[in-house]
Structure 1
Amino acid sequence: MFKKNNLFILLIFACMLTYLGGNVFAVSKNTTPKTNVTTNKKTVQKQQKISIEKTIAKYLENVPRIFYIIPELDKAKITKLKNNYNITDFTSEADYFYYEYDKIMIDELNERIPGNYSVYSVNNKLYCYVENNTNKIYIENDGIFSLPDYKIVVPIFNKAKTFSFNRDDDVYYNLIASLVIRDKKLSKESKFLYDTHRDSKDDYKLYVKVTMEDGIGDHYIGTYMIDTVMRTVTDQKTKKVLYDDSAVMKYPETFITEKQAGEMAAKILRKLKILGANQRYYVTDVKETTDDNNYLVEGREGYFLTIMIDNPKNPEIKELLGHFFINNTSTVMMKYYVVEDLYEYIYGKYTPFG
């Protein structure tokens, strides 16, 4: 009798589980986005974009002055970001001012890390750039600068590009701070204090003393020497070279003539995805730099040129792709921007020392 009762109870319990389980699955089915085999590419891209925007918003809160490249989050973490943010996509030409500004910023980022970037802003405060293929996020503030091999992006102020006697001290401070953080002597949240002076016998050497303030007092971290001739940064205590240009200076060089300038420029533009892989182009107005005009490209030697492309609707009509400069070793390329009336780097063997 006991066994029969047990069997009867188990049977009832199984029926209840089946009933409840069916309801649970029914709720799950209704609340989970449907997976359709025929989902088109646009729908997938839209979903990916939403996830990227949430990821951006998550990381744009209280961003410190030294910015690290933020890796793509896994899908499980992205789905947990439920907050609503005022996110603007400045990639289109809808806002002319921001579009022109961000073209230059993307060119500077492409110079270090070629890719296909979209531009975003959260609450109109801080810009960031997302590489559409890797979903890696690059954050900037008044400019982008990336130290080779260190995967650190630091801001450059007033669009300063390389070290010189006319640059804002923030350029030096951010370089030193990024190296100190990389070597884990301080964290990104630390408050840095700097004291800078030049060598009385050698103006090309700059010494930066770094201390940290923690509310109790100032703690000495170290003194670092920036040598603009040797292109190095050295820890004065250990005499260890913390940074040099060797990784970048080993880039292969291909010497080009005036006749080869257009073909090499097109090859670089395809690499940067500015020119399509199979897109036809036309090179005009190739001119070698002279002492009278090389100031436009920071004294570099090479060739100015213009590249035209076919109008997509009417191949008989030619459109301007841009006015460019390529140096004679094909390691640097710049593009002319009409609004700013200057040439900006889009590709090159570019380091903190130029």
Structure 2
Amino acid sequence: RGARLPLLRQPVPTSICAGGVDPIDRPVEYIPSRERTNDDPRWMFTGVLNGQFESTRNDGSKHGTSTKVDQQWLSGFFDWGSWQEVLGSWAMGAIAGRARLGGIPCGVITPETRVSVCRVPADPANPASEAQSINQAGQVWYPDSAYKTAQVIADFAREELPLFVFANWRGFSGGLKDMYDQVLKFGAMIVEELITYPCPVFVYLPPHAELRGGAWVVIDPAINPDHMELFCTPDTCRGGVLEPEGTVEIKYRFKDLVAAMDRLDDECKQLVSEVKATTTTSPQQFVDVKDLKDQLKQRHEQLMPSYQQAAHQFADLHDTPGRLTARGLVSACVEWRSSRAFFFALLARRLLEQEAVKCSQLAKNP
């Protein structure tokens, strides 16, 4: 304990790497995709054969590929063969394990993006109880997965391992049963463990990842600025407390969309001006105003889908990596393909800085 991290460069089969050792500066070839919803998140770390996952054609039919070109190895983020999962059969909504980056051992945490099943056995002391199988959505912290996350962070802290968090959470589960199961308590435990984490913590948003709701608050680097840093991939990831639909419901409601139509659409402008110019002193004028308002309402209904789509796109632009960088919420945007070399250099530097701080403290207080 307290010594340097043991470096180990294990050999790699020549069919994967001709040099026999996994190079540090190689690109990360496996890229997560929204189109392949059944991809295993572990493939980001371990790599995968191209023929193992199913690709979706334009016609929507799925097919497996088995040609020599498709059976090539797509490398992952960490060293080949170094991934070791921990607590794999418990709280499968969170994935945790240990791996090596350039020979440096690290702790790894990421969410399960697919639907997982939580099996609750029957209580032997209660004859009326039955076994339950509860489906849990991906990218969500449930009480068991939040507790698992806090537990493995505490374990990695005792082992003094650098921590990589591949963030892709949309928040915490908010059901009444989840509240009774202390989801807020376990979320607070995650914050407590990260606040006191003694080693570098890198929070990274991989391609097509989202960081929303309470998950943003839990792993915000501001809770431990000396050790935590947040990075994201350009273009495809998103970060923000609210999703675009929620932002539109609060900040850009129906009356705001109608006001935008009256301001931007020529036909709406003309109808609004005619309604204002027409007086209702006679029954005929009253009928004319009613007809104009009906035409304006029909025009609003015709334009509403397009304006709602534009509003969602406008709200989504506030969650892009460029916006996060401009607001100073992320340290940098890192390309996924070159992320391995970037994080190895950054990790090596942070570990040397940490060792220098320890040496200076020992020299000051021998």
Q: TM-score scaled by structure 1?
A: 0.23
Q: Considering fraction of residues, name the structure with more helix.
A: 2
Q: TM-score scaled by structure 2?
A: 0.23
By relative contact order (CA 8 Å, sep 6+), the higher-ranking structure is 2
Q: Considering fraction of residues, name the structure with more strand.
A: 1
